[in-house]
Homo-oligomer: A and B are copies of this chain.
Amino acid sequence: MAPEQEVQVLVKQLEEALANDSSQVEELSSLVSSLHPADQAELYCRLSPAQREAFLALLNAEGLARLLEHLPEEEVEELVARMPRETLARVLDHMESDEAAYIIRYLPPADAARVLANMRTAADVAPILQHAEDTAGGLMTRGYVALHPDMTVQEAIAYLRLHQPFAQEGYYLYVLDGANRLQGVVNLRQLIIANPGTTISQLMTRDVISVPPETDQEEVARLMQRYRLRALPVVDEKGVLLGIVTADDVLDVVTEEATEDLYRLAGVGVEERALSPLRESLKRRIPHLVVNLLTAFLSGLTVSAFEGTVAQAAALAVFMPIIAGHGGNTGTQAATVVVRSLALGDIRPADTARIVAKEVSFGLVHGALAGTLAAALALALYQNPWLAAVVFGAMVGNVLVAGVVGALIPLVLQAFKIDPALASSIWLTTFTDVMGFLMLLGAGTLLVDHLT
């Protein structure tokens, strides 16, 4: 099956049918239910407000739950805001506890309390809401199956057949003692192939990796990736199982954190998308850009301090963008590598000394090379060895400082528990501009008599 093409056709049919008042509700319903919820979500986003109403009317509470799980954030927010609170409670009852908690977080506190009071599954959702959204406790689901260690395999299978527990992670079964403390884990495959008389405690793996609920989501993702876990149990300080974080959440976390790092490095707001409406983009990008512009004024003011020198030796202006720009690139590269290595867990702030030592060596080799090339350009254009010497010195100095500072800023931020990606290339660029101009125009001022 080539799903996407077929989906496009179905979406088109449905779009036409919704536009056409005379069409039968049953026909529409069967078209909709033949679509995967992810495709229903795509269709929903393309519809006009009136068509959306018609579309929503085709779905029951469970259908609405599946749709909400696949809608983009801003659409979830909009739809949840205008859904009657009783309907919403019924819809959330059909969701995984982690997804339901995610949606309840969009509501004002009074509404959240009211919706929770109307939910049958409130007892599973409320504990998740106690934890911050970006922690293990906020990501976890209560949808797991628990077994008792004294059960036999046969009893466990009979229990599963009888109760058919609703579980998001259906492969792992968690073994809990009388006080709900996590004792071990068995998987369905072990259960199927084991001798029916074996007890669960004989079968289970005891050495289970788990985390406390306050663990940051990036650390959760790192652990699950490192140990190739499909699910990670969250336990309190007594070892009581609170919930499990599942692999699909980790995929979302990894994607989200990668976008965040990329955007922060480029100085873009995290919510921005290429087709965000103009007003949104203005609201989100302009404050950043204005701050950047004001920092850029610093570069301009640095030059203005040396205006007399530039007027006397305008050749220096030719090398301003070369030295400043190359410092900016060197610093951005160093910062990017450090930010990503921190995110992947390859390095820690404790490695700072080694990284700085490396950037110093790197800067000296690379600075000498870049300085020589820039000095050669100066000689070729102006046949002035003094100018070449000034350009060489400023290039070596700026490249060296840019690399060290570029690598250092994210490490320092991380040490202070601030997101290292805030070492945005934009701040760095202003810094390398100012340093480059100070060195080039400073040395130029001292030697200005030799430059004209």
B314 touches A300 (CB 8 A): no
A325 touches B303 (CB 8 A): no
A332-B425 contact, Cβ under 8 Å, with A310-B314, A314-B307, A321-B320: yes
In the complex, what distance in Å separates the CA atom of A1 from the CA atom of B207?
Answer: 8
How many residues of A are counted as interface, with CB atoms below 8 angstroms from the partner's CB atoms? 118
CB of A121 within 8 Å of the partner chain: no
Contact partner, A188, options B192, B308, B377, Cβ 8 Å: B192
Contact partner, A274, options B228, B330, B341, Cβ 8 Å: B341
With A247-B247, A259-B344, A292-B329 given, name 16 new contacts (CB 8 A): A1-B208, A38-B228, A164-B193, A188-B192, A247-B248, A262-B265, A263-B336, A272-B337, A285-B362, A289-B330, A307-B318, A321-B437, A325-B430, A325-B433, A329-B426, A332-B425
As for how many copies of this chain the complex holds, the number is 2
Contact partner, A275, options B191, B207, B354, Cβ 8 Å: B354
- Which B residues are CB-close (under 8 A) to A238? none
Contact residues of A between 319 and 345, Cβ < 8 Å to B:
319-322, 324-326, 328-330, 332-333, 335-342, 344
Contact partner, A293, options B191, B261, B262, B374, Cβ 8 Å: B374
Closest A-B pairs by Cβ, 6 of them: A258-B258, A274-B341, A266-B336, A311-B314, A299-B321, A188-B188
B259 touches A340 (CB 8 A): yes
CB of A365 within 8 Å of the partner chain: yes
B275 touches A326 (CB 8 A): no
CB of A407 within 8 Å of the partner chain: yes
A321 touches B318 (CB 8 A): no
In the complex, what distance in Å separates the CA atom of A326 from the CA atom of B437?
Answer: 17
A300 touches B275 (CB 8 A): no
Name the residue in A336, A344, A362 with the highest tally of chain B Cβ atoms < 10 Å from its Cβ: A336
Contact partner, A377, options B261, B300, B322, B340, Cβ 8 Å: B300
Interface string of A406-434 (1 = CB under 8 A from B): 01000000000000000001100110010
In the complex, what distance in Å separates the CA atom of A361 from the CA atom of B342?
Answer: 37
- Which B residues are CB-close (under 8 A) to A187? 170
A373-B290 contact, Cβ under 8 Å, with A210-B1, A274-B407: yes
Interface string of A189-201 (1 = CB under 8 A from B): 1011100000000
Task: Give the distance to chain B from A436, nearest Cβ to Cβ, in Å.
Answer: 9
A300-B278 contact, Cβ under 8 Å, with A251-B225, A266-B265, A314-B311: no
Contact partner, A281, options B273, B336, B362, B369, Cβ 8 Å: B362
In the complex, what distance in Å separates the CA atom of A378 from the CA atom of B339?
Answer: 37
- Which B residues are CB-close (under 8 A) to A275? 341, 346-347, 351, 354-355, 358
> 16 A-B Cβ contacts within 8 A?
A38-B227, A157-B192, A230-B247, A247-B251, A251-B254, A274-B355, A275-B346, A289-B333, A289-B370, A290-B373, A303-B318, A310-B314, A310-B317, A321-B433, A325-B430, A329-B429
Name the residue in A294, A300, A324, A355 with the highest tally of chain B Cβ atoms < 10 Å from its Cβ: A300
Name the residue in A3, A265, A274 with the highest tally of chain B Cβ atoms < 10 Å from its Cβ: A274
In the complex, what distance in Å separates the CA atom of A73 from the CA atom of B292?
Answer: 39
CB of A137 within 8 Å of the partner chain: no
CB of A160 within 8 Å of the partner chain: yes
CB of A250 within 8 Å of the partner chain: yes
| Nearest chain B residue, comparing its CB with the CB of A224 | B251
CB of A282 within 8 Å of the partner chain: yes
- Which B residues are CB-close (under 8 A) to A300? 318-319, 321-322, 377
Task: Give the distance to chain B from A363, nearest Cβ to Cβ, in Å.
Answer: 11
- Which B residues are CB-close (under 8 A) to A337? 263, 268, 272-274
A36-B227 contact, Cβ under 8 Å, with A273-B346, A274-B407: yes
- Which B residues are CB-close (under 8 A) to A328? 429
